[in-house]
Structure 1
């Protein structure tokens, strides 16, 4: 069941945002697709990771939702391979109470996860939140999406350079590819070097839409960020941990 579905015709095609759904459960694909289309999105449906991988690279959507347990190529392998080429925002669907899947997905670079069985209302809220943060939500006219285009001021902290308008990060002049969530967490830390930010404060910076996220999510994003920076600079130690309190950025 690999297909494209258009959103309702009362919105101009240029305003529709496309969500790719990858799941071997046809009922989930159909149900979620109908809910997304009712919200004005276009959808593309894929029933296995191998088919989805090729399609996501050839014609990237605005966001993708992956199941983890799938034939031919599971969601973790799909995300691992995708992250070698693209920072596409991704939400994982995981098995209920399977913390290993959640942690593995976040460490590979997923922007969020939702445990099955899940609420369609919660999934839609997470999708809207990530599209707003990535500047890809066309429903936000005059809001954060436009503000992101206008936020041309670079953030320079020691060896770190962040360009919010282009979602670009450089360390010692070398690019570091971050997901939307990782970028916002790093930005919240780098704005005030040396100031400790609690996990709740970092969650508020990355998830400003009253969407519940637990502490483990922030820790996993920080761990993944450190790994990415150390791939560029093995001595990277600019993100400090104060156990029991939170994290800070050291620009020295």
Structure 2
């Protein structure tokens, strides 16, 4: 892993919880991220990582898949029970099983080791932008139903684009930052088919090396929370949000 010189400044208060059992990799990643101005809290196994997470103050989590005591998949699931903090998974192999398992457990993104520091930092920055973004949904998105009190309404789904809150049948729906941004992208284009590459560019905020599984898995997670019928698959093209 290369250790570059520090780039333009980032907020020093940003804290990364790094859970990695390989001491060499853990130290290298820690030093590299610190060069960019991040504060790093490190743990060498899943259970210790869970304890560090419970201590609070973490802005983004960087989890290895293969961990002793509690693996990264299980750790991510435990974290998702109580938190929507951005999670980036690291996989040594990057095969389909690792990727799918990581994303299904609630991770927002993944990288394959060894990863260049510049790429890792870019992914972390993208996660932080997704977690803190401000959204402006065009008036055209309100073709279905709109209310000054309730925001955008699609059937039993209500999106408050100012407060960034989602309700289904009047009940609040907890969405991870990437899931929320994905839903808002659909809401800004109701009834319009959005292909996977477009969603990678607008939601994940960077180019992807031809692998669109991250989109499919996030759509799958979103469907479980807002209703499978709400996002329609247009075979061979992409996805669209049903207006009603």
C-alpha deviations, 1:197-217, integer Å up to 9, x for none? Answer: 111111112122445562111
The residue that corresponds to 1:76 in the other structure is 73
Q: Say yes or no: does 1:41 pair with 2:38.
A: yes
Aligned pair in 2 of structure 1 residues 185, 26: CA closer, same or farther (>3 Å)? same
Which of 73, 86, 90 aligns to 2:87? It is 90
Structure 2 distance, partners of 1:249, 1:149, is: 18
Which contiguous aligned blocks of 4+ residues in structure 1 show a shift greater than 4 angstroms? none
The residue that corresponds to 1:251 in the other structure is 243
Aligned-pair distance for 1:168? 2.5
SS in 2 for 1:50: helix
Which of 11, 30, 48 aligns to 2:27? It is 30
Which of 183, 186, 189 aligns to 2:180? It is 183
Structure 1 distance, partners of 2:44, 2:190, is: 45
Aligned-pair distance for 1:155? 3.5
**Contact 2:200 2:207 (8 Å CA) reproduced:** no
Aligned pair in 2 of structure 1 residues 24, 221: CA closer, same or farther (>3 Å)? same
Which of 234, 238, 247 aligns to 2:230? It is 238
**Contact 2:126 2:204 (8 Å CA) reproduced:** yes
**Which TM-score applies when normalising by structure 2?**
0.84
The residue that corresponds to 1:218 in the other structure is 215
Aligned pair in 2 of structure 1 residues 78, 188: CA closer, same or farther (>3 Å)? same
Structure 2 distance, partners of 1:93, 1:204, is: 21
Structure 2 distance, partners of 1:219, 1:29, is: 30
Pairwise mapping of residues 120-139 of structure 1 onto structure 2 (< 5 A)? Answer: 120-135=117-132
Structure 1 distance, partners of 2:53, 2:175, is: 18
Aligned pair in 2 of structure 1 residues 171, 98: CA closer, same or farther (>3 Å)? same
Q: Say yes or no: does 1:103 pair with 2:100.
A: yes
Any stretches of 5+ residues in structure 1 without a counterpart? 1-7, 136-144, 231-235
**Which TM-score applies when normalising by structure 1?**
0.82
Aligned-pair distance for 1:78? 0.3
**Contact 1:76 1:108 (8 Å CA) reproduced:** yes
The residue that corresponds to 1:139 in the other structure is none
Aligned-pair distance for 1:77? 0.4
Aligned-pair distance for 1:54? 2.3
Counting matched residue pairs gives 225
Aligned-pair distance for 1:15? 4.7
CA RMSD of superposed structures (Å): 2.3
